Amino acid sequence: MARARDLLPEEANMDGARSTIYTVNDVAKAAGIVPHVVRYYSRIGLLHPARDPQNGYKLFAPGDAKRLAFIRQAQSLGFALGEIAQILGDSGQGKTPCPRVREILQRRIRENREKLEELNRLQARMENALRQWQTMPDRLPCGDSVCHLIEATADSS
């Protein structure tokens, strides 16, 4: 089966050079991701593919693979897709996204520290409960009791 880029003429750039047109599968492969992610990013507006007027296929430019790499790199730093959309929007409007990027990352670091502290507190509660339960016998549920281990821990906290 012929791919869309094989069926369509190459488009000329502003300087007259030819550019390659990619299908979803092509750009996904170039970016090292699966095609459904490319489709999802297109659906939520992170990518803006052209459409083949003959068959409706999404068509991507070589720069879209670079944009996908940027999105994946931003995600690896903890940026959410909505935040990435804002960053791309700033850049697309010719504004520097750097202040927004710093603010988001500073906020994310604070949030992560809070989560880590809560996880450490949870870990300590779990370890204390397990130590306490080592000396307690197993019992069958009776009356309103479901699990006396958890109920004993709740009473002591």
What is the residue-wise DSSP string for 4-56?
HHHHSPPEE-TTS-EE--B-HHHHHHHHTS-HHHHHHHHHTTS---EE-TTT-
Low pLDDT (below 50) residues in the chain: 1-18, 156-157
pLDDT value of residue 153: 84
Amino acid present at 73: Q
CATH of residue 28's domain is: 1.10.1660.10
Q: What is the model's pTM?
A: 0.70
Same domain, 68 and 118: no
| 103 vs 117: CA distance, rounded Å | 21
Same domain, 16 and 47: yes
Other Cβ atoms closer than 10 A to 38: 28
Other Cβ atoms closer than 10 A to 154: 9
Same domain, 38 and 88: yes
Domain region containing 148: 103-157
